[in-house]
Amino acid sequence: MKQRILIIGSGFAGMWAAVSAARLAHLQGSNALEIAVLAPQPELRVRPRFYEANVASLTADLQPLFAELDIRFIAGHADRIEAAEGGVWYKTPEGEETFLTYERLVIASGSHLHHFGVKGIAEHGFDIDQLETAQRLEDHLNALANQPETEARNTVVVCGGGFTGIELATELPSRLKALLGNDTNTKVVVVERGNTIGGRYSEALREEIRKASEALGVEWRLNAGVEMVDANGVTLQDGSRIEAATVVWTAGVKASSLGENLTADRDALGRFIVTPELRIPGYSDIFATGDMAHAKTDSLGNTALMTCQHAIQLGKFAGHNAAASLLEVEGLPYQQVNYVTCLDLGTWGAVYTEGWDQQIKLVREEAKKLKIAITNELIYPPKANREEAFAAADPLAKFV
Ligand SMILES: Cc1cc2nc3c(=O)[nH]c(=O)nc-3n(C[C@H](O)[C@H](O)[C@H](O)COP(=O)(O)OP(=O)(O)OC[C@H]3O[C@@H](n4cnc5c(N)ncnc54)[C@H](O)[C@@H]3O)c2cc1C
């Protein structure tokens, strides 16, 4: 009987965990493991691109890769982990409650947007967090041209000026012009709590964001909190209004609540605080990875961010270590010393930085080329080819 590594989630971390576990079994010449991925669909949804148009196309089918590597895919949604029994309750697409046991469990169920209970957001707001919600925004934007022209119709408010908010806001001017006509007076406003544009980032990066925003006509409302969203726009905490047919929430993210019955420490974002091998302390057979893991990236005190850059590497280490522990091979402590950012800034270009201090290395067209290479190639699954996939899944191979 094979020993099962059950991986929950087929995002960046889950997909790479599966490939990396398969790689180690292959290297060890072992046929003793069943590597199984449980997720609603056998696809990778490319969340970092959800600010773009044609969102339905931003998925990658994982079936050819999984078939090539003998990874079992199980369609379903995990509801509850029964750690004492070594199993997971999940619901099949037909709604049937099913129990599946594991020898090792890798929790890679990702994250979702957090609204902080702002009034009216759930009913009237949009977001680009998941494929379905990004599609809803796209359908809404595409239908704007059918509405009578008003300032509100032509205005999009983006709540939150972090990376997601900035990429969406700087993408929108050209998208709105394409939808509503070049002569239409469209408006994009970023509502941001902080007192500086891009205040969380290095000064050099902020300056590029400021320049791009100015060139694209993206307005920033700083020191501004959202009080309420309704069908006609946003009321800010100072009582002022922005009339807008489209309000998009981008601020705040929370790890999936899966595993909330485990007795384990989580950080403020809901991530499990994991050991260097990405185990959940107290559960030697359970690993957390990707957006579910709060893990140290180096010995300097840096911690993995909820980014696909970290999720990919965290996935490779988690899969490797889950397999290593069954194959009686020594595990690898997770480390990811390099950190880069590549921020899309619409038709203005992009900006690429290296290091935790975000030193600028490329701007505008050069950075844009790199951004496209990253988001259209680098973060996609490997080809359904054993050799290539296993080479890429090596946790110690250079990534960025
Ligand atoms: C709009 C947007 C822009 C972003 N831009 C960037 C960027 O520019 N650069 C960057 O590095 N990162 C970016 N990110 C962050 C990045 O997308 C995430 O950090 C990354 O997706 C995390 O990978 P993951 O595998 O942990 O989770 P996810 O990619 O969220 O995958 C989670 C998987 O788990 C499955 N799942 C969830 N719950 C269950 C359950 N109960 N049972 C079974 N399966 C389940 C899901 O279906 C999915 O397959 C962006 C995110 C968004 C939303």
Ligand 1 atom at minimal distance to the Cα of residue 128: 1
Q: What is the pLDDT of residue 170?
A: 98
The confidence band for 21, taking pLDDT boundaries of 50, 70 and 90, is: very high
Q: Is the CB of 250 under 6 A from ligand 1?
A: no
Same domain, 224 and 133: yes
pTM, two decimals, is 0.98
Tell me: the pLDDT tens digits for 195-220?
999 999 999 999 999 999 999 999 99
Asked, for residue 326, whether it belongs to a domain, the answer is yes
Mark which of 249, 275, 302 sits at the end of a domain.
249
User: 47 alpha carbon to ligand 1 midpoint, in Å?
Assistant: 6
Asked, for residue 331, whether it belongs to a domain, the answer is yes
Q: What is the pLDDT of residue 67?
A: 98
Boundaries of domain holding 133: 121-249
Number of domains in the chain: 2
Tell me: the pLDDT tens digits for 262-285?
999 999 999 999 999 999 999 999
User: 164 alpha carbon to ligand 1 midpoint, in Å?
Assistant: 13
Same domain, 130 and 185: yes
The confidence band for 131, taking pLDDT boundaries of 50, 70 and 90, is: very high
Asked, for residue 360, whether it belongs to a domain, the answer is no
Q: What is the mean pLDDT of residues 323-329?
A: 97
Tell me: the pLDDT tens digits for 60-92?
999 999 999 999 999 999 999 999 999 999 999
Asked, for residue 131, whether it belongs to a domain, the answer is yes
Mean of the per-residue pLDDT values of the chain: 98
Same domain, 90 and 163: no
Q: What is the mean pLDDT of residues 29-50?
A: 98
Asked, for residue 325, whether it belongs to a domain, the answer is yes
Same domain, 127 and 235: yes
Q: Is the CB of 13 under 6 A from ligand 1?
A: yes
Asked, for residue 371, whether it belongs to a domain, the answer is no
Nearest CA to ligand 1 atom 24: 110
Q: Which of 118, 112, 113 is nearest to 225 (CA)?
A: 118
Same domain, 208 and 265: no
Tell me: the pLDDT tens digits for 219-228?
999 999 999 9
Mark which of 337, 355, 372 sits at the end of a domain.
337
**Best residue among 19, 52, 73, 109 to mutate for probing ligand 1, ranked by most atoms within 8 Å of CB:** 109
- Identify the CATH number of the domain in which residue 190 sits: 3.50.50.60
User: 180 alpha carbon to ligand 1 midpoint, in Å?
Assistant: 31
Count the Cβ atoms, other than its own, within 10 Å of residue 4: 20
The confidence band for 305, taking pLDDT boundaries of 50, 70 and 90, is: very high
> Letter for the amino acid at 44?
L
Q: What is the pLDDT of residue 47?
A: 98
Same domain, 14 and 73: yes
Q: Is the CB of 258 under 6 A from ligand 1?
A: yes
Ligand 1 atom at minimal distance to the Cα of residue 343: 8
Asked, for residue 344, whether it belongs to a domain, the answer is no
Same domain, 207 and 133: yes
The confidence band for 7, taking pLDDT boundaries of 50, 70 and 90, is: very high
Q: What is the pLDDT of residue 282?
A: 98
The confidence band for 35, taking pLDDT boundaries of 50, 70 and 90, is: very high
Q: What is the pLDDT of residue 150?
A: 97
Tell me: the pLDDT tens digits for 165-175?
999 999 999 99
Same domain, 128 and 75: no
Q: Is the CB of 248 under 6 A from ligand 1?
A: no
Same domain, 108 and 257: yes
Mark which of 337, 363, 378 sits at the end of a domain.
337
Same domain, 26 and 108: yes
Asked, for residue 342, whether it belongs to a domain, the answer is no
Q: What is the mean pLDDT of residues 311-334?
A: 98
Same domain, 135 and 213: yes
Same domain, 301 and 222: no
Q: What is the pLDDT of residue 356?
A: 97
